[in-house]
Amino acid sequence: MKHRVGFNKLGLKESHRKALHRNMAASLFKFERITTTKSKALAVKRTVEKMITRAKIDSVHNRRLIARDIGDKEILAKLFTDIAPRNEKRPGGYTRVLKLGARQGDAADMVILELVEREGLPSSDNDKASKKVKKSSKKAITVDKADVKEELVKQNASDPVSEPDKKELEHDAVVTKEEKSIEDK
């Protein structure tokens, strides 16, 4: 039996496969999110995870090992100074795969491969705090929508507006109030 032995060769020769892994890893570190096929994403994910794990320990040896695969010095510096420190407390699982659906043309499964700890997102250290902030911000946003729509209805009451437009505005205001009551529960 050949269970859990080997990897996906992606139908490519060794040199082409290595180039694909290197280029996609560099793109992921540069943009922190790339769109690709599912099979390529899963193959590159393995390479990227190993690179980030190695980059957590900033040494000359580790920099040279990763520099063999990533030729761009700026991306290499970003990996060691920005991406690896963000993932310092994470024991693995630095990337996530989000499914997009089938690509038009050849129906290949498309996914987004992204770093879990991306720039501009709240860190995982404050997960509970960020969830509370997200919940409270949703409520605040719906309240703001309701207030704004009520103001629009009041303003439009004095302006000459056709009856269908008034009914639509009133309906929208009622819907947001219902959403607010559902979220409060």
Full residue range of the structural domain in which residue 26 is found? 14-119
Say if CB 156 and CB 166 are below 8 A apart. yes
Residues 151 and 101 in one domain: no
Q: Which of 91, 119, 147 is the last residue of a domain?
A: 119
| In-domain check, residue 1 | no
| In-domain check, residue 37 | yes
- State how far the Cα of 99 lies from the Cα of 39, in Å rounded to an integer: 12
Q: How confident is the model over 24-76, as pLDDT tens digits?
A: 999 999 999 999 999 999 999 999 999 999 999 999 999 999 999 999 999 99
pTM: 0.64
Residues 101 and 155 in one domain: no
Query: Which residue from 100, 123, 133, 111 is spatially nearest to 41, judged by alpha carbons?
Result: 111
Say if CB 98 and CB 33 are below 8 A apart. no
Q: Which of 94, 119, 144 is the last residue of a domain?
A: 119
Residues 115 and 134 in one domain: no
Segment (H or E) for 167: helix 163-184
Q: How confident is the model over 106-139, as pLDDT tens digits?
A: 999 999 999 998 877 665 554 554 455 455 554 5
